[in-house]
């Protein structure tokens, strides 16, 4: 890709797609390990607030881990394709925005809200050195 605008768009779109795939896979795995209690449907808005108060800590940690690894994967993909660290930060910012939306849709514990803002920043910072081209000795 010679055109820098096309490269930037492809980098961000690919990073967001990669992040979503990883978050979906890891959250799905978390739901398999910690299934929702019988009678509560995580897709129903009325049940979502109830779920957050009854699911175990491990289920909440699984969600936060998914957010982190999704952010990390998306940031690495975007920075590699875009060939600039800036794209890791763009993915981090997008993931923060999406996490804020998610955590305001129904009540989350304060520590999850903090993690939703902090972990994408940490993931973007880690992604930058991971996305640099490797130099063979």
Summary mean pLDDT of the chain: 92
The dihedral built from the CA positions of residue 53, 55, 57 and 60, taken in this order, carries a sign that is negative
Domain boundaries, the chain: 4-131
Q: What is the 3-state secondary structure (H, E, C) of 21-39?
A: HHHHHHHHHHHHHCCCCCC
Determine contact, residues 107/52, Cβ cutoff 8 Å. yes
Element housing 52 (H / E): helix 45-54
Residues 57-90: tens digit of each pLDDT: 999 999 999 999 999 999 999 999 999 999 999 9
pLDDT of 83: 93
DSSP for 62-105, written as a single string: HHHHHHHHHHHHHHHHHHHHHTSTHHHHHHHHHHHHHHHHHHHH
| First-residue to last-residue Cα distance in the chain | 28
Q: How confident is the model at residue 27 (pLDDT cuts 50, 70, 90)?
A: very high
**pTM higher than 0.85, yes or no?**
yes
Residues 29-56: tens digit of each pLDDT: 998 999 888 887 777 877 777 888 888 9
Residues 87-111: tens digit of each pLDDT: 999 999 999 999 999 888 888 899 9
The span from the CA of 119 to the CA of 116, in Å, is 6
């Amino acid at each position: 890709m010679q055109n820098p605008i096309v490269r930037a768009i492809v980098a961000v779109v690919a990073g967001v797609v990669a992040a979503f795939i990883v978050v979906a896979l890891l959250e799905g795995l978390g739901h398999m390990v910690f299934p929702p209690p019988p009678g509560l449907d995580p897709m129903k808005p009325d049940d979502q607030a109830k779920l957050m108060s009854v699911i175990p800590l491990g289920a909440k940690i699984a969600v936060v881990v998914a957010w982190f690894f999704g952010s990390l994967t998306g940031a690495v993909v975007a920075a590699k394709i875009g060939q600039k660290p800036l794209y890791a930060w763009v993915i981090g910012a997008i993931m923060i925005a999406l996490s804020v939306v998610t955590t305001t849709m129904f009540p989350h514990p304060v520590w999850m809200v903090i993690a939703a803002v902090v972990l994408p920043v940490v993931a973007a910072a880690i992604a930058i050195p991971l996305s640099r081209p490797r130099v063979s000795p």
